Every structure is written in structure tokens, then in C-alpha cells.
Amino acid sequence: MAAITLQGLSKTYRSHAHPRGLVALDDVSVSVADREFLCLLGPSGCGKTTVLNVLAGLDRDYRGDVAIDGRPLPKNGVGPFRIGYVFQEPRLLPWLTVRRNLHFALESFGVPREEREARVRTWLRRVGLAEFAEAHPHELSGGMQQRAAIARAFAVEPQLLLMDEPFSGLDELTARGLREQLLALWQETRRTVIFVTHNCFEACFVADRILVLSARPGRVRHEVRVDLPRPRSYDSAQLFELSVAVTRLVTEVPEEG
Amino acid sequence: MPGDGGTRPWRTHGFVVRLTSVVVLLIAWQVVSVLISEKYVPGPAPTFAALAVQVASGAVLQHLSITMVRMLASFALAMATGIVIGTVMGLYRRGEQALDLWVMVMLTIPGLCYIIVSFMWLGLNERAAVLAIAWTTFPSIAINVWQGVKAIDQRLIDMARVFRASPWRRTARVVIPQVLPYLMAAARFGLGVVWKVTVLVELLGRSDGVGYMLNYSFQMFNMADVFAWTLLFTLVMLAIELAVLKPVEVRLFRWRPELRA
């Protein structure tokens, strides 16, 4: 498990469309406690995904300091810690079966064979895909593919779990089921999670704490602590009230200054 | 299982359709031969008989083997060149800008021009033959590989990086499987071109090989032999398709839904 600190993180994208650079993140500081479930909430284009990509080592062109458990993130991006990442799309290798997709990730981390077998079996069972271990991704529904991706992220036993709008491509009914499943798995394992979303209700349902970001440039606007008891229910009136309040924070027009 | 029950009769059915189409072709060939005249269109029987004579005399072994050697050497050269150029074009924008015009132009120039130029530069020898065949073939291979490399899904590579796959592992397990279908298409397309150009090269500048024998039969105005050599060629191509390309493809792409039906 790990505590994360991002200090003064800034990121500018340069392209033909923006020759002088598009500021995606401007001086963003975030700290995540060990075993905390943090949500980054904001409109598209507020640089939420950039934060995840910096932590995952996919984006190395940024300014600011990033530390995991007090150790600075090496600039080559390959830290000594394990990260699980659930992307917006399942990102399974289409030519491998579900089982071998999980093996691929575990092998990459150098998990020995015996243990790999056991972990893959456990996690496929936990997400309810035991019967589909030998299926190829295209044979599964979108929700099942995303469950496989969640199993893959948990199976590497990550110190930090990154989730980038993992349910936004699914219908709401499927998404509800998966959110509950995710929270149940999280309560068992208590990984540190950074969860990115633009859905206010979803943020209130899953998070311990929500950071509301503004768009272009991405800045931290508000911090909301979610003190609702777990396990949470979709029918809770408190949850509904909180999500209305958070929606107001997200949609307000920030005063220029 | 319901899936299995549906697949098997379908496969058998496909085989019957193929067999029927071959039989229909043979019958049509015979009918045309009878309608026009044996002299201009030898039927299946005299053609196979002529082929049998060539096999018995050892001519088939001698000329077919030299043709195959030329083909394989040229094919290997064309694939190697095509893969390198296609990969450079697919990976680097500058490479693409520098080379796409060249590849297009080379694709457009008729094979005959490469053959004549190669023979004039290097003389009537094997090196010139292989150069001419490979030269004609590589542009289409390069184009296929170029498209394949451009189609690589960066998101899957990022996934592998997050899960700490080494660069070698990312290449072998994530990049190459994505390019394989395009490589397969390149190989199949390339083989088709190599076949056609090889006989032409042999006709123009070599004194052995299937192309040479076709020309020889033409000079003798021996229609049955022309048909026999053409038939031989077709049979060898079919054998390569059915014994090599198809099984490799099925093995590699078993996971793909369209190849399961």
C-alpha cells in the first residue's frame, strides 16, 4: 500500500493546434493517504487522466514533484512499486484468452508460475468470470471485459490502483453492478485508489474524498470529504443530497482572477 | 454444445461446394475443348498426359526446382526489404514523407522494366533475375507493412508498460501480434507477384525454369505442353496456399471471430 504526494504538478501539451502550448494541469497538488479511495472529478479536458499517466510512468514530460511513500518517482517512470491501472476501455490483448491476459500482466511483474495460476484463478472467480477464463475478449460483453480488466489490475496486488473512468463506456445498469463489485473488492483489499470520473453521483458513491478540478487549465477547485458509511446504497438520501451539492460545485462558473 | 453442432456440417458443406466447383471447372474445360478443337484447346486428359510425359522425362523436376529456388530467394529479399522500408515508413513521419512517393512510383513501374534494366546492368545471370523479381515485388510488401505498423494500437502498448512489461516483451507479445495479419497479407500478395514475374524473367533472360519451358512450348507451337506447364504452375501454387499459407493463418489467427465461422 502507498501514500502519494503530487506537488505543484504542471503539464503543457504542445501541438500544431496549440503552438504556444495548451496548459492541461496548472500547479496541481494532491496527496492521497495510504488505503484511501480518492476521486478526481471534473469536466473533460481538465487533465484528470494526465495525473494518472504521470503516476503510471506513461507521461514523463511534466513539471512538479511526485512521490510514492516518500520516495520520488524516478524520471524514467519505472518505480519500484506495483501499479494496477483500469483504463476507460478494457485494453485486453484480443488474441489472448481472459486467463492468459491476466497471466500476461503477472508475468510482466515477474510473479512465479505457481502463484500466478492461483492468483488468476482467485481473481477471475472474484469478479465472476471463472467460467469465461478460456474465452477471448471479443466473446464477452463490454461489462465482462471491464470486469476482466479489473481482475487484472487487482491480481498484480498493486500498491496503487489507478482507474480512469472505468465505467463510463457501459450502460448505467451494468455500471451500477460493477461499482458495487469494485467497492466490495476494495473493502477486502484496501488498496490506495485514485479514481477519475466526470460523473458526480459516481464520485460520491465510491470515494472517501473528492477533489473537484476545473478545466483548461486544470486546477484543484474544491475538496469534498465523503463521510457516508460503507457499504453504501444507491437509494441513500444522504448520497443523493451530497451528489446534488457536488454537482453544483462542478458546474459553477469559476470567477476569473 | 450448440456451437459445435453448428460448425461441423458447415465445414463439410464448404468442402462439398469447393469440390463441386473444381468438377464444374473440369467439365467446362472439356466442353470448350470439344466445341473449339483439341488443337487449340487441349482438354483435361491430353493436358494431364502431356504433364505426365514431362514428369517422366525429369524436365519437371529440373525446371520446377530452379524456378522455385529463384522464387524463394527473390521472395526472401523482397520481404526483407519491404519489411524494413514499411516499418520505417510506419514508425517515423519523416520516413513516410521521404519514402511514400518512391514506393508508389516503384509500384507503378511495370515489372518488365525492372527485368530489362536488371539484365542490362548485371548481365543475363541469376543475380539479375533475383534482383528483378525482388524489385518488382517489394513495393507492395512495403505498403502492406507500412499500413500494419501505422495501425498498431498504442493504447495496448501503454497497458503493457503500466504492467511493467520489458521493451522486448512489449515488442514480442504486443506489437508483433498486431502486425502479423498485415505481414501475412504482404506475404500472400508478394508470392502472387513473385510467381508472375519469375516466369517472365525466365522467358526473357534464362535458359531454364518453367517460364523458359513455356516459351519453348510456344516456339514449338505445342499447345498441350503450354497447358501442361501452366497446369503444373497452378497446382504448385494451390499446394503452397493449402499446405503452407492457410494452416499458418488458421493457427495464428484462431482467436479472430471472422476466421472461426
Asked whether the beta carbons of residue B164 and residue A93 sit closer than 8 angstroms, the reply is no
User: Is any Cβ of chain A less than 8 angstroms from the Cβ of B251?
Assistant: no
CA distance linking residue B27 with residue A223, whole number of Å: 82
User: Is any Cβ of chain B less than 8 angstroms from the Cβ of A109?
Assistant: yes
User: Is any Cβ of chain A less than 8 angstroms from the Cβ of B161?
Assistant: yes
CA distance linking residue B224 with residue B54, whole number of Å: 11
What confidence score (pLDDT) does residue B106 get? 93
- Closest residue, chain B, to A80 (C-alpha): B164
Nearest CA-CA distance, residue B191 and chain A, Å: 26
Asked whether the beta carbons of residue B174 and residue A93 sit closer than 8 angstroms, the reply is yes
Nearest to B163 among A96, A108, A139 (CB): A108
Helix pair A142-155, A113-126: axis angle to 10 deg: 140
**Residues with pLDDT less than 50, chain B:** 1-6, 260-261
CA distance linking residue A126 with residue B67, whole number of Å: 60
What confidence score (pLDDT) does residue B156 get? 95
- Closest residue, chain A, to B160 (C-alpha): A105
User: Model confidence at A74, in pLDDT bands (50, 70, 90)?
Assistant: confident
What confidence score (pLDDT) does residue A76 get? 65
Task: Supply the ipTM of this predicted assembly.
Answer: 0.90
For the stretch A119-137, pLDDT in tens is 999 999 989 999 999 999 9
Q: State the number of CA atoms in the 13 A half-sphere of A29 facing the CB.
A: 2
User: Model confidence at A109, in pLDDT bands (50, 70, 90)?
Assistant: confident
Q: Provide the whole-model pTM.
A: 0.82
Nearest to B156 among A56, A58, A91 (CB): A91
Nearest CA-CA distance, residue A237 and chain B, Å: 38
Query: Which one-letter amino acid corresponds to residue A152?
Result: R
- Closest residue, chain A, to B166 (C-alpha): A108
User: Is any Cβ of chain B less than 8 angstroms from the Cβ of A155?
Assistant: no
Which strands, in side-by-side order, build the sheet including A22-32?
A22-32, A4-13, A63-68, A71-72
Nearest to B255 among A57, A89, A95 (CB): A95
Which helix (H) or strand (E) element contains residue B104? helix B93-108
CA distance linking residue A23 with residue A250, whole number of Å: 19
Report CA torsion sign: B234, B240, B245, B250.
Answer: positive
What confidence score (pLDDT) does residue A256 get? 53
Asked whether the beta carbons of residue A58 and residue B165 sit closer than 8 angstroms, the reply is no
Pairing of the two strands A22-32 and A160-164: unpaired
Cβ burial of B13 (10 Å; 0-12, 13-18, 19+) is: exposed
- Report the share of chain A in percent with pLDDT over 70: 95
Q: Output Rg (C-alpha) for chain A, integer angstroms.
A: 18
Asked whether the beta carbons of residue B161 and residue A91 sit closer than 8 angstroms, the reply is no
- Closest residue, chain B, to A134 (C-alpha): B255
Query: How far from A117 is each of A105, A131, B235, CA to CA, in Å?
Result: 12, 15, 48
Asked whether the beta carbons of residue A94 and residue B163 sit closer than 8 angstroms, the reply is no
Backbone angles phi, psi at B144, to 5 degrees: -60, -45
CB pairs under 8 A between A and B: 48
A94 chain-B contacts, CB cut-off 8 A: 255
The size of chain A, in residues, is 257
For the stretch A19-68, pLDDT in tens is 778 888 888 889 999 999 999 998 877 788 889 999 888 888 888 888 88
